[in-house]
Amino acid sequence: MKDLVNKFYKNHALVYKVLLFIVTTFLIVYLFPKSGKFKYDFEKGKPWQSETLYAPFDFAIQKTPKELEEEKNQIETTTIKYFNLDPDIKGNVLNKYYKSFDKVFPDSIYTSKNEIKNFGKDLIEKLYEYGVTNEDELIANKSTVTILKDRVEVGKTDFSNIYRQSQVKPKIDEEIKKNNFEEYSKPLSILFFNIIEPNLTYNKALSDTALQERLSSISHTRGSIEKETLIISKGEIVEGNKFLILSSLESEYESQVWNESNYNLILFAYTLLVALALLMLLLFLRKYRLEVFNNNTKVTFIFFNIFLMVLLTTLIVNYDSKYIYIVPLAILPLVLKAFFDARLGLFTHVITVLLLGFIVPNSYEYMFLQILAGIVTILTVSELYKRANLFISVGQITLVYIIAYFAFFLIHEGSMETLKWDTFGLFVLCGLATLFVQPLIYIYEKFFGLVSDVSLLELSDTNSKLLKKLSNEAPGTFHHSLNVANLAEAAANEIGANAMLIRVGALYHDIGKMKNPTYFTENQSSGLNPHDELSPKESATVIIDHVIKGIEIAKKNNLPDRVIDFIRTHHGDSSVYYFYMKEKAKDENVDIADFSYPGPKPFSKETAILMMCDSVEAASKSLKEPTSTKINDFVENILNKQMDDGQFLNANITFKEIQAIKKVLKRKLANIYHLRIEYPE
């Protein structure tokens, strides 16, 4: 058991990657649409590109959504509506009319009283011929109305024959005018307003039941296709009934393929494809980006971004697939290039787009546009910390989207008449969303502990608190660091290394000297050397400790690990040779390990360049009457000695690149010492 625990502990990083791989795979598969995928691609109005197609099984021809909606609307406007009749209301209204009439129309005033009375009686009969209802919210339509009395049908009529409460007063006014009783309009209106009441109550439960019965009887199909029936021939135009049949076959195929019997099998196939894609990414990291592969935080960061893009795209597709291009997928290569490099960013982007091909409609068009946008992103975005560069790159990405989409539209439609201009607006919104990459990078830096060029730019500010302290407490070291930064930046640009990173590393590589600044020659201005009072071993310890103290100061000030690497490696495991030889003169058995830096050796191009530039710049102060020949020999000797000591064995730097760095250092030193070309005598 103990051996198993030890083995697990030794391989915990690999175990974590396996778990991350499995979890990410299942999360992505979970987001995939739960339906089969039709193996043929077709578009309305375009030729059938695949082989001649025969029906693989019996299936029904589905009605279009428009047809189903029209049929539903037709049923809703014609379905029978049920009303309950209160038979006592009409009699009550007539009784009230007779009682109130004499009060409103006294004999002494109105000479045509009987005529008016008969008019009122006839009007009430007309209103209650089919009935009055208070259901004003019911919209008049072509429905038939069934009138029920004690749940027994007593009559049928059109819905338009029933008077709603809001229609009563206009009907009364109309009849008064029609019979020339305008002079009695006011008393008649008041009379009828007080006595007319509805006698029909809408039976919503029964009406809704009748409506649902008819809606449920709607057939979603119209006709069927038998197995082995010719559906479409190669080259035939997909239109009309052919398009409907193919759409029905696609729908039937997807519903038949994705059923309980083979659900797990198809899910397994999806899992295999996603796992293969993510495995390719891991293999790429292991072969070409081993430093990233060995860092679980960085691998987690990459997988998290892939899953985030899949999640965002899935949410948009589920909401409305026409907004698919609003997802700022170009953020992915932007972020990865900011933290890693262009090649890794593009490779990850392509893998992500391949995964999204399972989710989005028109997958080929989508993948073409997104891969093209990813390539443009990688090619155009440089020095992300410069805001203008980001705006220019986003503009170029948006333009590529628009041009590519326009070309695809012309291919599909053959004309510009039906061009959807709002899609171009989606691309503009996508571009604006891509600008969110700047705050997103900051969030990622804090959450994952990564460092981008934006942070490096902030750290390179010589007015920062730590560098100001260095310039005040160890001005000579600060000046030395600036010179090393200039040399290292030029060398990095020559061989394509990260110039911004190496400049920041150079500025901070000697901050440990702030603890005992006067023990380093560049800070000794009084002519007194404190090493005169120390033994060689003690002096060596003070010199070597500036690396350890530098790491402590850097961590206390929250400098990123990538910057601390320069402090840790800028002397490698070399020795403090001067004090070693001084001690050796006293004691032949001295151990050189006591006079050596703890290391490690440089393990990247950038840290190797810093070691070269630091040694050359520091030693160049000892040059007397420098000439081109002296500088050439001087640079060659220092760098060759470092190579002989194996200081660059762990760094991925080539002999060719070292030769290029030598040339840069020689040229820079010649410029520093203002040397002229030596002409032959």
Lowest mean pLDDT among 297-311, 354-368, 478-492: 354-368
Contact 396, 427 (CB under 8 A): no
Query: Which of 5-19, 277-291, 528-542, 613-627 is predicted most confidently?
Result: 277-291
Q: Give the 3-state DSSP-derived string for 507-537, with helices as H, strands as E and coil as C.
A: HHCCHHHHCCHHHCHHHCCCCCCHHHHCCHH
Beta-strand ranges (E) seen in 48-158 are 53-54, 59-62, 81-85, 132-133, 144-149, 152-158
HSE at residue 472, side-chain half, CA atoms within 13 A, is 7
Question: Given this model, what pLDDT does residue 347 score?
Answer: 95
Stretch among 296-305, 532-541, 622-631 having the lowest mean pLDDT: 622-631
Answer whether residue 140 shows pLDDT above 70.
no
Contact, 127 vs 171, CB < 8 A?
A: yes
Structure tokens at 359: 């989710």
d(CA 503, CA 480): 13
Q: Average pLDDT of 344-348?
A: 94
Q: What is the mean pLDDT of residues 132-146?
A: 72
> What would the mean pLDDT of 398-423 be, rounded to a whole number?
79
Q: CA 553 to CA 559: how far, in whole Å?
A: 9
Among the listed residues 126, 100, 123, 115, the one whose alpha carbon sits nearest the alpha carbon of residue 183: 115
Whether 210 contacts 82, CB under 8 Å:
yes
Beta-sheet pairing, 144-149 with 59-62: unpaired
> Token match 């030395």: residue?
480
- Inform me whether the pLDDT recorded for 147 exceeds 80: yes
pLDDT band at residue 679 under the 50/70/90 scheme: very low
Q: What is the 3-state secondary structure (H, E, C) of 455-482?
A: HHHHHCCCCCHHHHHHHHHCHHHHHHHH
Element (H, E) at 673: none
Residue 224, sorted as left (phi over 0), alpha (psi -120 to 50) or beta, turns out to be: beta
Tell me what the mean pLDDT of segment 33-51 comes to.
Answer: 68
Q: Is the peptide bond before 600 cis (omega within 30 degrees of 0)?
A: yes
Q: Decide: helix, strand or coil at residue 494.
A: helix
For residue 575, what are the β-bridge partners?
596
Give the integer Cα–Cα distance in Å for 612 and 658.
9
Helix H or strand E segment including 69: helix 65-78
In the DSSP assignment, the letter for residue 51 is S
pLDDT at 435 over 50: yes
Question: Which secondary-structure segment (H or E) carries 222?
Answer: strand 221-225
Look at residue 422 in the predicted model and tell me its pLDDT. 80
Most confident of 3-17, 37-51, 61-75: 61-75
Host H or E run for residue 191: helix 185-195
pLDDT above 70: percentage of residues in the chain: 90
Q: Would you state the pLDDT for residue 677?
A: 47
Per-domain residue ranges of the chain: 2-28+268-448, 35-63+219-257, 72-215, 453-672
Task: Provide the pLDDT for residue 9.
Answer: 63
Q: Which two tokens stand for residue 448?
A: 């994952």
Cα–Cα distance measured from residue 154 to residue 130, given in angstroms and rounded to the nearest whole number: 11
Structural tokens at position 201: 């109550």
CA 243 to chain centre: 35
Residue with tokens 């002409």: 679
> Strands 81-85 and 144-149, how do they pair?
parallel
First CA to last CA distance, the chain:
82
Instruction: Tell me the whole-structure pTM to 2 decimals.
Output: 0.64
Return the SS3 of 223.
strand
Angle at 20 between CA 317 and CA 370, to 5 degrees: 35
Q: Which of 64-78, 319-333, 531-545 has the lowest mean pLDDT?
A: 64-78
> What's the pLDDT at 38?
65
CB of 77 within 8 A of CB of 141? yes
Question: 218 is written with which tokens?
Answer: 């709607």
Across residues 566-578, what is the average pLDDT?
90
Read off the tokens for 655. 């002999």
Residue 566 or 628, more confident: 566
How high is the pLDDT of residue 301? 95
Once rounded to an integer, what is the mean pLDDT over residues 25-40? 77
Q: Are 368 and 329 in contact (CB under 8 A)?
A: no
The residue that leads in pLDDT, 136 or 459, is 459
Tokens (6 digits) for 414 = 């053959």
Give pLDDT, residue 439.
Answer: 86
CATH code for the domain defined by 453-672 = 1.10.3210
pLDDT-based confidence at 7, cuts 50/70/90? low
Per-residue confidence at 144, pLDDT binned at 50, 70, 90? confident
Which long-range CB contacts under 8 A does 399-405 form with residues at least 24 apart?
A: 400/372, 400/373, 400/376, 401/325, 401/369, 401/373, 401/427, 401/430, 401/431, 402/427, 404/368, 404/369, 404/372, 405/325, 405/369
- What would the pLDDT profile of 99-123 be if each residue is shown by its tens digit? 888 777 776 455 577 787 888 888 8
Q: How confident is the model at residue 391 (pLDDT cuts 50, 70, 90)?
A: confident
**pLDDT tens readout for residues 203-260:** 888 888 888 888 888 877 777 777 878 878 877 777 777 778 777 777 776 666 555 5
Mean pLDDT (the chain, rounded): 83
In angstroms, the CA 507 to CA 460 distance is: 7
Q: Quick count: other Cβ atoms within 10 Å of Cβ 118?
A: 11
Instruction: Name the token pair of 16.
Output: 């974590």
Does residue 268 surpass a pLDDT of 80?
A: yes
Whole-angstrom Cα distance, residue 451 to residue 295? 14
Q: Quick: pLDDT tens for 164-177.
A: 877 788 888 888 78
DSSP single-letter state for residue 202:
E
Looking at the chain, the number of H-run helices and the number of E-run strands are 28, 10
